[in-house]
A = this chain, B = another copy of it.
Amino acid sequence: MQPWLTLRHMTGSHSTKDIHKNISRSTSSPNSYAAPVLFELHPLMAFPECNPSQEDGIEGKSQPTEESCLHKAWARFLKGVSYFSGDMEVFGKWMEKQFILLQLLDWVLRGASQVMFVNNPLSGLIIFAGLILQNYWWALNGFVGTLFATISALILQQSRGAIAAGLYGYNGILVGLLMAVFSNAGDWYWWLLLPNIFMSMMCPIVSSALASINSRWDLPVFTLPFNILVCLHMVATGHYNHHFPQVLIQPRSELPNITWSEIDLAKLFRSVPVGIGQVYGCDNPWTGGIFIISLFISSPITCAHAILGSAAGMVSGLALSAPFEDIYFGLWGYNCVLACIAIGGMFYALTWQVHLLAITCAFFCAYLGSAIANIMSRFGLPACTWPFCLSALTFLLLTMGTKRIFKLPLAKVTYPEKNLAFYWRMKKEEKAEKTEKEKKTIEEQLNAINEERILDEKEQLQQELSRMEEGMQC
């Protein structure tokens, strides 16, 4: 039972070095953990009727045929995949018993990936790799932001489960990154770390406050704290500031020069990964590509919707005749990426209707993105991820008469594949209950009919009896 463990090792060691050890230690985790994870991956993996106990039984046998050998290998492979895909539950549970600093590192990595709704330290690690590829200084700021946001959440005694899932870190990484991206003081301006730390420590406060409001409608806070805090910092200091000057952003005041013959298809195609990279403020297509890989590792459905969203944003940009530079730079994509992920399988259980809804949401988000960017530019502000937040919240508030669009309770949201498994289980149970009920009704009807029949027979017998008695008496 070792090959897939090695596989995980490999994957771990390929992408990173610094947290190699903790991951390799996890090999000692008992196999029993794997069962539920594998089970949850079933719907995705299209690998029916493979329960581990049965598999263990097979292993005990002495003459495996070639087919069962392949079968076994595939099962092992899946089990291996289950250890580092999804939300890496096994690893998370193993982490709970480790030293606090190691745990903190796990939370920070999960926080980094939670920006894309992914709760996976491996994805987080890959994302940090992508950030380092983009810019060292930005990556450092992002790390500091995530770290202090998580520490602040610990100080404020927020829910330990939410902290461990990285839910207090993702706003921190965005605050740290984007404050560095939009700073006009150049890289390695160390004073910037001061407002960075202050703002990222405010993240859990704003998150908690917003959650108090949004929880009334069972809605997540998304990246609203990041939006609020980065806009706060940028507009409080502004372009004309001695300590923390911001990049100058100005509204458009003349017709942009758009010549359709000059369109560069290669760049247009490249804008799809760039759009995914722009979620973290990165314009390097390779960084965007690395992010796509990190998404695929955790959840292929998320990855597919991210690409779809970015494409939808690009198309919208062309439809609304945006300057090509903006489209190439991924500014039309990143909000749609997030909106499409959020609606397509994350907070709704994925069905065809939900898939269509997610694409609609991506187009709406692109429209909204253009509107918000124009408004914010009047204040010298970027659009941040306001368009994503507002469009996703709108689509999550939607109430419909159909059962094919099922909004998961917020407490049950994990990742699209698991959400789908939850939805299917729920539907099956409902169906079972229904058939049970129908069975009962039929049985009751049968009983009633039987009883009636018996009563009728009794009556007939009594009548016959009375007739006989009458005859006797005569």
A positions within 8 Å CB-CB of B? 156-159, 198, 202, 205-206, 208-213, 216-217, 231-233, 235-238, 240-244, 252-256, 258, 319-321, 363-364, 367-368, 370-371, 374-375, 378-379, 393-402
CB <8 Å contact, A236 and B367? yes
Copies of this subunit: 3
CB <8 Å contact, B208 and A243? no
CB <8 Å contact, A208 and B397? yes
Chain B residues with Cβ below 8 Å from A232 are 367-368, 371
Chain B residues with Cβ below 8 Å from A401 are 157-159
Tell whether A208 pairs with B399 under 8 Å between CB atoms, given A320-B244, A321-B241: yes
Chain B residues with Cβ below 8 Å from A209 are 393-398
Chain B residues with Cβ below 8 Å from A242 are 255-256, 258, 321
CB <8 Å contact, A400 and B236? no
The distance from the CB of A158 to the nearest CB of chain B, in whole angstroms, is 7
Cβ contact of A319, chosen from B243, B254, B367, B368, cutoff 8 A: B243
| Bound-complex Cα distance A206 to B240 (A) | 37
Chain B residues with Cβ below 8 Å from A258 are 242
The distance from the CB of A262 to the nearest CB of chain B, in whole angstroms, is 14
Chain B residues with Cβ below 8 Å from A374 are 235-236, 238, 379
CB <8 Å contact, B253 and A240? yes
Q: Label chain A's interface by main secondary structure.
A: helix
Chain B residues with Cβ below 8 Å from A237 are 320, 370
Nearest CB in chain B to that of A364: its residue: B202
The distance from the CB of A395 to the nearest CB of chain B, in whole angstroms, is 7
CB <8 Å contact, A236 and B397? no
Task: Select the residue from A217, A236, A254, A400 with max chain B CB neighbours within 10 A.
Answer: A236
Chain B residues with Cβ below 8 Å from A379 are 374-375, 378
| Bound-complex Cα distance A253 to B378 (A) | 13
Chain B residues with Cβ below 8 Å from A159 are 401
The distance from the CB of A136 to the nearest CB of chain B, in whole angstroms, is 27
CB <8 Å contact, B216 and A238? no
CB <8 Å contact, A217 and B208? no
Chain B residues with Cβ below 8 Å from A399 are 208, 211-212
Nearest CB in chain B to that of A231: its residue: B371
CB <8 Å contact, A397 and B367? no
Cβ contact of A235, chosen from B231, B254, B255, B375, cutoff 8 A: B375
Since A156-B400, A212-B398, A242-B321 are in contact, a sample of 8 more A-B pairs with Cβ atoms closer than 8 Å, ordered by chain A residue number, is A212-B397, A231-B371, A232-B367, A232-B371, A236-B370, A240-B253, A241-B321, A243-B321
Tell whether A320 pairs with B236 under 8 Å between CB atoms, given A156-B400, A209-B398: yes
Chain B residues with Cβ below 8 Å from A400 are 156-158, 208
The distance from the CB of A453 to the nearest CB of chain B, in whole angstroms, is 43
CB <8 Å contact, A233 and B397? no
Chain B residues with Cβ below 8 Å from A321 are 241-244
| Bound-complex Cα distance A156 to B354 (A) | 12
Chain B residues with Cβ below 8 Å from A216 are 216
Chain B residues with Cβ below 8 Å from A206 are 394
Chain B residues with Cβ below 8 Å from A157 are 400-402
CB <8 Å contact, B235 and A367? no
Nearest CB in chain B to that of A245: its residue: B255
Can you give 16 A-B contacts (C-beta < 8 A)? A208-B398, A209-B396, A235-B370, A235-B371, A235-B375, A236-B320, A236-B368, A237-B370, A238-B252, A240-B255, A241-B321, A242-B256, A242-B258, A242-B321, A374-B379, A378-B379
Task: Select the residue from A216, A244, A368, A374 with max chain B CB neighbours within 10 A.
Answer: A374
Chain B residues with Cβ below 8 Å from A217 are 212-213
CB <8 Å contact, B240 and A252? yes
| Bound-complex Cα distance A367 to B205 (A) | 15
| Bound-complex Cα distance A376 to B413 (A) | 39
CB <8 Å contact, B395 and A205? yes
The distance from the CB of A322 to the nearest CB of chain B, in whole angstroms, is 9
CB <8 Å contact, A367 and B233? yes
Cβ contact of A243, chosen from B233, B252, B320, cutoff 8 A: B320
CB <8 Å contact, A213 and B397? yes
Chain B residues with Cβ below 8 Å from A210 are 397
| Bound-complex Cα distance A416 to B243 (A) | 38
The distance from the CB of A150 to the nearest CB of chain B, in whole angstroms, is 15
| Bound-complex Cα distance A394 to B208 (A) | 9
The distance from the CB of A68 to the nearest CB of chain B, in whole angstroms, is 48
